[in-house]
């Protein structure tokens, strides 16, 4: 296989629609994903020998436009996930990473996330990144502001220099981005990093996304001929 796959990124769409189909509150779709889909996801990623997986858990639009009840429920779910899964993730050798602008999160949630990152920082089997209040344009604007407020502005800016200012500094770009839920758009997810990413769009809603679905996407990726402009 000539293709290299070190980083999979996922847009986990369809949680609320899944809950509605089940006759449940929208929050239940996110809860099912946290309790079942995500743990199965990082297990199969490790099994396949993929070193990085990034999950877009919350966009700025989600954070600002959904009801206060739903946002608070999601943040509480993050809190529960961290404390429920951190020992398991340590046992599996998973390093937790966070990207996005979490400055507006409640202090207890920020402490939870910092604790999870610190407790798993030495793990080497998989870097599992949660994109929280992450927007691609926001990320680029934040990087530009770093240039404006540092000595970097006096240097020649290259792609490599700029990449080091992004949330994903130190991570390889994703080679494969998977979106569940039937929508066929990128919605501003990792726009800089996805320059040559391959995409897979699945109709299946994220709570129903299985390890077999991910394996299918990976197999399809390896069958593709990636030209990189050549």
Return the number of other C-beta atoms located less than 10 Å from residue 173's C-beta. Answer: 17
Out of 13, 112, 167, 208, the active site residue is: 13
Q: Which residues pair with 98 in a beta bridge?
A: 130
Out of 3, 62, 123, 125, the active site residue is: 62
Q: Is 13 a catalytic residue?
A: yes
Pairwise CA distance, residues 118 & 172, whole Å: 21
Between 211-223 and 38-47, two packed helices, what is the crossing angle to 10 degrees?
40
* Torsions phi, psi for 190 (to 5 deg): 50, 55
Q: Is 173 a catalytic residue?
A: no
Q: Which residues pair with 7 in a beta bridge?
A: 52
Virtual torsion, Cα 209, 50, 137, 120, nearest 10 deg: 100
Q: Which residues are catalytic?
A: 13, 62
């Amino acid at each position: 296989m000539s293709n290299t796959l070190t980083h999979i990124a996922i847009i986990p769409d369809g949680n609320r629609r899944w809950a509605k189909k089940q006759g449940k509150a929208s929050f239940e779709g996110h809860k099912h994903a946290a309790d079942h889909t995500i743990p199965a996801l990082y297990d199969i990623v490790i099994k396949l020998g993929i070193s990085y997986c990034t999950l877009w858990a919350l966009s700025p639009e989600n954070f600002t436009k959904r009801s206060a009840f739903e946002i608070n429920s999601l943040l509480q779910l993050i809190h529960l996930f961290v404390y429920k899964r951190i020992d398991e993730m340590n046992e599996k050798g998973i390093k937790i990473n966070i990207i996005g602008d979490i400055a507006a999160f409640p202090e207890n949630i920020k402490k939870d996330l910092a604790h999870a990152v610190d407790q798993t920082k030495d793990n080497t089997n998989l870097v599992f990144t949660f994109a929280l209040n992450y927007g691609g344009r926001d990320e680029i604007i934040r990087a530009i502001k770093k240039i404006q407020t540092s000595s970097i502005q006096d240097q020649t800016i290259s792609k490599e220099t700029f990449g080091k200012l992004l949330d994903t500094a130190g991570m390889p770009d994703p080679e494969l981005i998977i979106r569940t839920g039937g929508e066929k758009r990128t919605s501003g997810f990792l726009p800089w990093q996805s320059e040559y990413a391959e995409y897979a769009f699945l109709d299946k809603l994220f709570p129903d996304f299985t390890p077999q679905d991910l394996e299918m996407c990976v197999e399809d990726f390896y069958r593709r001929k990636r030209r990189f402009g050549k």
